[in-house]
Structure 1
Amino acid sequence: MVDLKRTLLVLASESYIQTSLFPDFACKGDEMVNEFGEAWDSADRSTLNKKALFALEKLDKYLSDYSGESYREHYTDNEMLGTSEVWNNIRSLAKESLSALNWPYEVPKQFNVIYLVEDEI
Structure 2
Amino acid sequence: MMDEKETLRASTAQHFEWSIRALAQSTDVQLSLFPDFVCKADELALDYEERWGNFREELGESLTSEQLDSISALDKHLRAMSGLQNEKFWTDESMVNDPEWRLVRELALRVVAVMGWSSEPPPPGRSIYIGPNGRA
How does the TM-score come out when normalised to structure 2? 0.83
Question: Take 1:88 and 1:34, find their aligned partners in 2: how far apart are those partners?
Answer: 18
Of all paired residues, the percent bearing the same amino acid is 28
Amino acid at match of 1:65: A
Larger radius of gyration: 2
Q: CA RMSD in A?
A: 1.3
Question: Take 1:104 and 1:118, find their aligned partners in 2: how far apart are those partners?
Answer: 34
What residue number does 1:72 align with? 87
| Deviation beyond 3 Å, 4+ runs, structure 1 | none
Shift, 1:115, TM fit: 1.4
Shift, 1:104, TM fit: 2.6
Shift, 1:24, TM fit: 0.7
What residue number does 2:5 align with? none
What residue number does 1:26 align with? 38
What residue number does 2:17 align with? 5
Which of 51, 73, 78 is the equivalent residue of 2:66? 51
Q: Does 1:61 align with 2:73?
A: no
Q: Which moved more, 1:107-116 or 1:41-50?
A: 107-116
Counterparts of 1:100-111 in structure 2, within 5 Å, are: 100-111=114-125
Corresponding pairs, count? 120
Question: Take 2:69 and 2:83, find their aligned partners in 1: how far apart are those partners?
Answer: 23
Question: Take 2:93 and 2:37, find their aligned partners in 1: how far apart are those partners?
Answer: 13
User: What runs of 5+ residues in structure 2 fail to find an aligned partner?
Assistant: 1-12
Amino acid at match of 1:35: D
Shift, 1:109, TM fit: 1.8
